[in-house]
């Protein structure tokens, strides 16, 4: 009669080293001697300095944390298939670390007396032990290994400046030439000539308020528009556009093209509220033409049709792939790709407007929402957008709306042509429900907030993650003020918002098994967006809004800000920031690999390391959901 338990053990062990190197009969014989051990969360497997056991251990389900006794810092986490506690047995020494169940865990205890003879006669087992002793370090929450989600090696992290020149910090001149608003233009021209500079910074009370360039002197003074005896404030460019001093080469190029300027003013924090520390000119950042963001941005701005933009989008995806291959920090990658996405959308809008029979009847705003609004749209995912237009009389409303619906339809169609899929829920400006006057939008969003059913919560939450891609920003600002005002006067709304954030299904079941789709087109696939990314995103939104922070949309940045605001929860929030970037990076890699959105993952195509690193984010998902459930008293709402 067969021993079905030992067969199951053998079937499990054969998938992991060093057992994968054993002959079938050897593994079957060893599996008969294996002891199955169940450990509750936080129970000890062995303690630091404890004498070695007669067994070493393999994690079957759950996870084991390794740390120094008495320390809260986890040095490593052993996951499914990981071996631990073997080195002391072979070296005849006490345990150097404490092993504790990170969560409810099942272990296979392998007797050393039965394993050692096999290791001595099997060269491949010996090589495995010599190389690693099954350390398999890769805990994303440890300080030493934070950020190494994909097990990248040292060479990958130390990317060459020759390969990614455009991501290196830009050097800038700190020798600023300045003047006052009341300085005479002739004095300024002489000063610029004396110092051989192409621009001069205009300051008031030590803060930058304007800039005067050679171009200003040529176009405004030499042409006779302004007398040379005039004052600086009459010809300076103001308000000034400032950037942070940590600007990279790529960001410098893109900033100049985006704002159509030839000089960048750098300040301590990137705003006009701090002193200037340097100036960059076009001459300072001239680089060879190549496949870098500035070149793509230039091509986008010159494109005259959707077909041309689609070709440029392929270049953007190639750039994204190159950045990921070089293991560039995802935060920087997201910013660059988001700028290119926004530029593509803006160019589409301009092309669409040029094809309309007449000019827009009133001012309007195009809002990009969802992942694009959060600066997290790396792949060609579906559209989420809306139009806000200025209020008009009741008699003009329908005709005005018809114009913008036609414009929205044209824009959405072109966005689809260049690679952005239509929204399955039809949350697009081509839909009447997403194209309103400012007053109509105020009324609609107020209704959502004061009547917070599941659908209303979903719809209203979208307006907390938008980006003004084109048009009149003041319209979006006024709508935001209205939304926040209603939300603050109805605090229960945040409880409903938190409840909505808890509606996403769990990523894992008992012992952290992946929970996959049970039916439909994606049966047996793992829904990375719904089960892992959205819970992290939704929690960040409700938490940051509860602090009345309106200016941060990006999920990782929201958690980093929360870590500042709530030091007692800093570790969890930083883990969430890490997890959001890790999951987004994982989805992006999968999307590029399979040429899709990366949402649905075929688990049988992942290797063991990918599964383990992905599952390590699941505990963070559950932890942050537990926090918002308690903080916003969601259970009371459901009673």
Q: What is the mean pLDDT of residues 89-110?
A: 88
d(CA 596, CA 521): 15
Worst-scoring range by mean pLDDT, 147-151, 189-193, 252-256? Answer: 147-151
Question: Higher pLDDT residue, 609 or 580?
Answer: 580
Flag whether pLDDT at 167 surpasses 70: no
d(CA 539, CA 226): 56
4-136 in CATH: which number? Answer: 2.60.120.10
Which of 119-128, 142-151, 305-314, 427-436 ranks highest by mean pLDDT?
Answer: 427-436
- Contact of 300 with 340, CB cutoff 8 Å: yes
Flag whether pLDDT at 95 surpasses 70: yes
Flag whether pLDDT at 77 surpasses 80: no
pLDDT for 290: 42
Q: What is the mean pLDDT of residues 314-332?
A: 83
pLDDT for 509: 66
Which tens digit of pLDDT belongs to each residue from 18-42? 888 888 888 999 999 999 999 998 8
Which tens digit of pLDDT belongs to each residue from 110-148? 999 998 888 777 767 766 665 444 333 333 333 333 333
CATH T-level topology, domain 293-489:
Beta Polymerase; domain 2 (3.30.460)
Flag whether pLDDT at 159 surpasses 70: no
Taking alpha carbons only, the member of 454, 458, 486, 503 closest to residue 628 is: 503
CATH T-level topology, domain 168-289:
CBS-domain (3.10.580)
Share of the chain above pLDDT 70, in %: 89
pLDDT for 163: 41
Which tens digit of pLDDT belongs to each residue from 365-380? 999 998 999 989 888 7
Q: What is the mean pLDDT of residues 464-480?
A: 91
Taking alpha carbons only, the member of 246, 250, 245 closest to residue 161 is: 250
Q: What is the mean pLDDT of residues 234-243?
A: 88
pLDDT for 158: 35
pLDDT band at 254 (very low <50, low <70, confident <90, very high): confident
Q: What is the mean pLDDT of residues 395-407?
A: 96
d(CA 238, CA 630): 49
Name the strands in the sheet holding 364-368, side by side, starting at the edge strand that comes first in the sequence.
Answer: 435-437, 385-389, 364-368, 467-471
pLDDT for 442: 95
Which of 89-98, 261-270, 447-456, 576-585 ranks highest by mean pLDDT?
Answer: 576-585
pLDDT for 609: 74
Flag whether pLDDT at 536 surpasses 80: yes
pLDDT for 126: 65
pLDDT band at 50 (very low <50, low <70, confident <90, very high): very high
Mean model confidence pLDDT for the chain = 84
Which of 270-274, 332-336, 443-447 ranks highest by mean pLDDT?
Answer: 443-447
pLDDT band at 323 (very low <50, low <70, confident <90, very high): confident
pLDDT for 329: 81
Torsion sign over Cα 44, 50, 51, 56 = positive
d(CA 499, CA 458): 11
Flag whether pLDDT at 62 surpasses 90: no
Domain ranges of the chain: 4-136, 168-289, 293-489, 495-636
- CB-side neighbour CA atoms (13 Å) of 134: 24
Flag whether pLDDT at 150 surpasses 70: no
The length of the chain in residues reads: 639
Q: What is the mean pLDDT of residues 313-338?
A: 84
pLDDT for 422: 92
Taking alpha carbons only, the member of 369, 481, 360 closest to residue 434 is: 369
Flag whether pLDDT at 151 surpasses 50: no
Residue with tokens 């920087």: 332
pLDDT for 474: 93
Determine the Cα angle at 207 with ends 201 and 213, to 5°.
15
């Amino acid at each position: 009669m067969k021993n079905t338990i030992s067969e199951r053990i053998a079937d499990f062990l054969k998938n992991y080293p060093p057992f994968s190197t054993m002959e079938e009969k050897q593994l079957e014989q060893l599996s008969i001697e294996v002891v199955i051990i169940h450990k509750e969360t936080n129970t000890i497997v062995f303690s630091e300095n404890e004498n070695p056991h007669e067994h070493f251990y393999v994690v079957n389900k759950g996870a084991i944390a390794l740390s120094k006794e008495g320390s809260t810092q986890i040095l490593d986490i052993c996951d499914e298939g990981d071996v631990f506690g073997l080195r002391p047995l072979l070296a005849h020494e006490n345990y150097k670390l404490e092993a504790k169940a990170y969560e409810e865990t099942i272990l296979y205890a392998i007797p050393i007396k039965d394993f050692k003879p096999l290791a001595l006669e099997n060269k491949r087992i010996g090589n495995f032990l010599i190389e690693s002793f099954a350390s398999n370090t890769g805990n994303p929450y440890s300080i030493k290994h934070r950020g190494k989600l994909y097990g990248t090696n040292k060479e990958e992290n130390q990317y060459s400046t020759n390969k990614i020149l455009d991501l290196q910090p830009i050097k800038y001149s700190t020798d600023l030439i300045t003047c006052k608003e009341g300085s005479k233009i002739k004095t300024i021209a002489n000063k610029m000539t004396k110092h051989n500079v192409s621009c001069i910074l205009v300051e008031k009370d030590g803060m930058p308020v304007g800039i005067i360039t050679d171009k200003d002197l040529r176009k405004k003074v030499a042409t006779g528009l302004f007398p040379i005896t005039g004052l600086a404030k009459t010809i300076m460019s103001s308000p000034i556009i400032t950037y942070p001093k940590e600007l990279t080469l790529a960001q410098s190029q893109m900033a100049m093209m985006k704002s159509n300027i030839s000089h960048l003013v750098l300040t301590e924090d990137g705003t006009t509220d701090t002193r200037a520390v340097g100036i960059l000119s076009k001459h300072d950042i001239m680089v060879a033409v190549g496949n870098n963001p500035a070149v793509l941005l230039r091509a986008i701005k010159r494109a005259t049709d959707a077909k041309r933009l689609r070709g440029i989008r392929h270049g953007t995806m190639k750039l994204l792939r190159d950045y990921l291959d070089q293991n560039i920090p995802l935060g920087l990658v997201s910013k660059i790709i988001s700028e290119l996405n926004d530029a593509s959308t803006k160019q589409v809008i301009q092309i669409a407007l040029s094809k309309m029979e007449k000019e827009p009847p009133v001012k309007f705003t195009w809002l990009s929402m969802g992942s694009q609004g959060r600066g997290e749209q790396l792949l060609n995912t579906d559209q989420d957008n809306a139009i806000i237009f200025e209020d008009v009389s009741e008699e003009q409303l329908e005709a005005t709306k018809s114009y913008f619906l036609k414009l929205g339809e044209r824009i959405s169609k072109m966005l689809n042509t260049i690679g952005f899929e239509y929204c399955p829920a039809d949350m697009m400006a081509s839909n009447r429900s997403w194209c309103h006057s400012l007053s109509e939008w105020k009324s609609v969003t107020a209704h959502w907030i004061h009547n917070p059913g599941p659908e209303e919560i979903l719809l209203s939450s979208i307006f907390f993650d938008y980006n003004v891609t084109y048009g009149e920003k003041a319209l979006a600002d006024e709508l935001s003020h209205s939304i926040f005002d209603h939300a603050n006067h109805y605090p229960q709304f945040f409880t409903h918002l938190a409840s909505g954030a808890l509606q996403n299904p769990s990523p894992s079941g008992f012992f952290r098994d992946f929970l996959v789709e049970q039916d439909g087109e994606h049966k047996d696939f793992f829904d990375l967006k719904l089960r892992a990314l959205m819970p992290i995103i939704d929690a960040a939104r409700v938490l940051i809004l509860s602090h009345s922070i309106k200016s941060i949309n990006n999920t990782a940045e929201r958690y980093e800000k929360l870590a500042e605001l709530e030091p007692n929860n800093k570790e969890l929030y930083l883990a969430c920031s890490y997890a959001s970037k890790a999951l987004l990076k994982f989805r992006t890699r999968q999307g590029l690999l399979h040429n899709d959105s990366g949402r649905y993952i075929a688990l049988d195509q992942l290797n063991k390391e990918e599964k383990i690193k992905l599952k390590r984010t699941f505990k963070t998902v559950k932890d942050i959901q537990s926090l918002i459930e308690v903080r916003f008293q969601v259970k009371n709402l459901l009673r």
